[in-house]
Structure 1
């Protein structure tokens, strides 16, 4: 289980022109190899008249499904450089296709490597790349005398409050990074003199996007 990992939240498209050749990079988030392959076929149909549709994808927390293709370019000049960009940026669950419309001027192996790498970097720059953190939803039940201390601890540790219920008692659902669970449990126990009851609810991943907490079930 990865404590944190980077992935694409929203795909994007970037483009460069190198010696009259046009390179269009399309990036998309994918959860399975089947999604990646379907996306590649979609791009090949969209850019059916292009000389090359080179691709890369890396799927799985351990990169179980990672493939790349030069699609007719000289071996090692397109797919592998694109994969190096993905690995260098440490991005997971992503697929990308770089489409080339040949401009009539040969770029040479070095020129191709630079062009495919730079176009994919442009595609990633146009995408929304986020970092997901492995966390645990924790239910905290307390009386009203303990709520202030718990809210203080949540604010100090920057723990999002997913939900709250106020009746004859207070129930808070905190989002706690997995590596902070022991610390938070100890802080709440000490802060409320043992009056608060805590229960782990479920494992999840989360990210803060534009100031808002997004929860993911992957």
Structure 2
């Protein structure tokens, strides 16, 4: 997975609905982090709107993985249009589901595509958006004489202390923006005269800033 410097996602669970020639369109958006998480949401959505004619959707993850479905609508009229709305807002880690209750009048391919795009666009426009940056965990081990030094430098990088263990040495587990790890390492080695060890996790996760 390519590491993006930041991504935009959503934190709210917005809903929007409107009617077009008798058909009712209901759209919902929600934050996700995995395909399995989306599938769970989709299953719950189908149970909630079990009597809807179509359950169309699209999602996109931080690793650029995406999927969309017309769910029985004419090819290219629903899923891709919902995905286009996600792309319009340049969002990641987001899923959008739009259900349609058929109103008895066929809309035609063009108007149908516009209706699905409108539903997705409106629900995403109303969503509360957040910026997320890549973080990783670092284990910092040092002597008791340098505890105050560690506490001095960590806030400069907006690092969050997850755990501290006091035994023969002091071990910190911190979360820090992945782009800051090199600079933090250099400063701590200099400030402690080399009396510090830093071990970085390979795992990258995104957190709201």
Q: Which bin holds the TM-score, normalised by the shorter protein? A: 0.7 to 0.9
SS of 2:145 mapped into structure 1: coil
Shift of 1:105: 6.3
- In the aligned structure 2, how far is the partner of 1:38 from the partner of 1:144? 47
Structure 1 residue 54 corresponds to structure 2 residue 56? yes
Q: Does 1:203 align with 2:199?
A: no
Greater mean deviation of Cα atoms: 42-51 or 138-147 = 42-51
Alignment match, 1:31: 34
> Does 2:124 align with 1:138?
no
| Residues 38, 175 of structure 1: alpha-carbon distance in 2 compared, 3 angstrom cutoff | closer
RMSD (CA atoms): 3.3
- Alignment map for 1:207-218 (pairs within 5 Å): 207-208=207-208
What does residue 16 of structure 1 align with?
17
Of stretches 126-135 and 165-174 in structure 1, the one that deviates more from structure 2 is 126-135
- What is the CA deviation profile of residues 167-213 of structure 1, one whole-angstrom value per residue up to 9, with x for unaligned ones? 4543221212222221110011112222222222452414138xxxx
Structure 2 vs 1, CA of residues 105 and 95 (structure 1 numbering), >3 Å: closer, same or farther? same
Please give the TM-score of this superposition, normalised by the length of structure 2: 0.75
Q: What 5-or-longer segments of structure 1 have no aligned partner?
A: 210-218
Matched residues, number: 205
CA distance in 2, matches of 1:201, 1:99: 42
Distance across 2 between alignment mates of 1:79 and 1:136: 34
Tell me the equivalent position of 1:77: 77
Hey, what's the Cα distance between the residues in 2 that align with 1:85 and 1:146? 51
Query: Under a length normalisation based on structure 1, what TM-score does the superposition of the two structures give?
Result: 0.72
Local SS of the residue matching 1:146: helix
For structure 2, list consecutive stretches of 5 or more residues without a partner in the other structure. none
Match of 1:95 in 2: 95
SS in 2 for 1:147: helix
Asked if 2 retains the 8 angstrom alpha-carbon contact of 1:161 and 1:172, the reply is yes
SS at match of 2:63: coil
- 2:177 corresponding residue in structure 1: 177
Structure having the larger proportion of residues in strand: 1
Note closer, same or farther for the CA distance 1:165–1:42 as it changes in structure 2 (3 Å cut): closer
